[in-house]
A and B are shown apart, each in its own frame.
Chain A
Amino acid sequence: AQKITQTQPGMFVQEKEAVTLDCTYDTSDPSYGLFWYKQPSSGEMIFLIYQGSYDQQNATEGRYSLNFQKARKSANLVISASQLGDSAMYFCAMREGLGTSYDKVIFGPGTSLSVIP
């Protein structure tokens, strides 16, 4: 069963507008972490933002914020004031099994974001 779901294969956003990329996850671990990564066409993986399951406040990093709704198991990425350079694939990821040999990070299928001038 898919543990990370990203329901938007492709998204378009006008430059300077905000956009929300959806992510839902499934885990039975009480302690876990949620990440968002950006992958431009060059293939490199760029870390954007992190949210721990026990963090009370939503994470923010510059123009990126993570809308964490624990009860709904959702961790949506919000990009404010989109720029042309934001055009890329975006992956939601979850780390579970913390502190064990089975500590691993799994990724969702990704959302392709295109920013329109």
Chain B
Amino acid sequence: DGGITQSPKYLFRKEGQNVTLSCEQNLNHDAMYWYRQDPGQGLRLIYYSQIVNDFQKGDIAEGYSVSREKKESFPLTVTSAQKNPTAFYLCASSISLTPWRSTGELFFGEGSRLTVL
């Protein structure tokens, strides 16, 4: 079945360690996104990418890094510079849109819950 796979589902990290969250999609979507969600809050955009080898910072990119070497994959690294990394991380993908084709919702993975000990 087509979809987005995030792993791991749960992750524990010690302070000062980097950790990488995986996001893979087989929907043939060009666009991919990473969001962070804190308890009771909305989704905040970390990074996004419309095409391979290109990505843009979102509203809260500090302390995070990404790569987009393949269309299907958009891993997120939470670095030790991220001061409060404990959160729920959601990856999403969609078709690329144009002003003349503006219909295309985001498809989400099941999320990764990161806890810093």
Q: Is the CB of A110 within 8 A of B102?
A: no
How many residues from A make CB contacts under 8 Å with B?
31
A53 to B43, CA, bound (A): 22
Within 8 A of B (CB), among A28-80: 30-33, 35, 37, 43-45, 47, 50, 52-54
**Minimum Cβ distance to chain B for residue A77 (Å):** 14
CA distance A37 to B94 in the complex (A): 15
Q: Are A105 and B106 in contact (CB under 8 A)?
A: yes
Known contacts: A103-B31, A109-B42. The answer to whether A52 contacts B103 by CB under 8 A is yes
Give chain B residues whose Cβ lies under 8 Å from the Cβ of A100.
50
| Known A32-B102, A43-B110: A104·B58 in contact at CB below 8 Å | yes
Q: Please report which residues of chain B, range 1-44, place their CB below 8 angstroms from some CB of chain A when the two chains form the complex.
A: 31, 33, 35, 40-44
**Interface of chain A: mostly helix, strand, loop or mixed:** loop
Tell me, rounded to whole Å, the shortest Cβ–Cβ distance linking A23 to chain B.
Answer: 12
Q: In the complex the two chains form, what is the Cα distance from A45 to B109 in whole Å?
A: 8
Pick the most buried of A47, A95, A110, A112: most chain B CB atoms within 10 A of its CB. Answer: A95
24 A-B pairs whose Cβ atoms sit less than 8 Å apart in the complex: A32-B102, A37-B106, A43-B88, A44-B108, A44-B111, A45-B108, A53-B102, A91-B43, A95-B97, A95-B102, A98-B97, A98-B99, A99-B96, A99-B98, A99-B99, A101-B51, A103-B96, A103-B97, A104-B48, A105-B48, A106-B45, A107-B35, A107-B45, A112-B40
Given contacts A30-B99, A33-B103, A112-B40, 10 further A-B contacts (CB under 8 A): A33-B104, A44-B108, A52-B102, A98-B99, A103-B31, A103-B97, A104-B58, A106-B59, A107-B43, A109-B41
Q: Which residues of A contact B (CB under 8 A)?
A: 30-33, 35, 37, 43-45, 47, 50, 52-54, 91, 93, 95, 98-110, 112
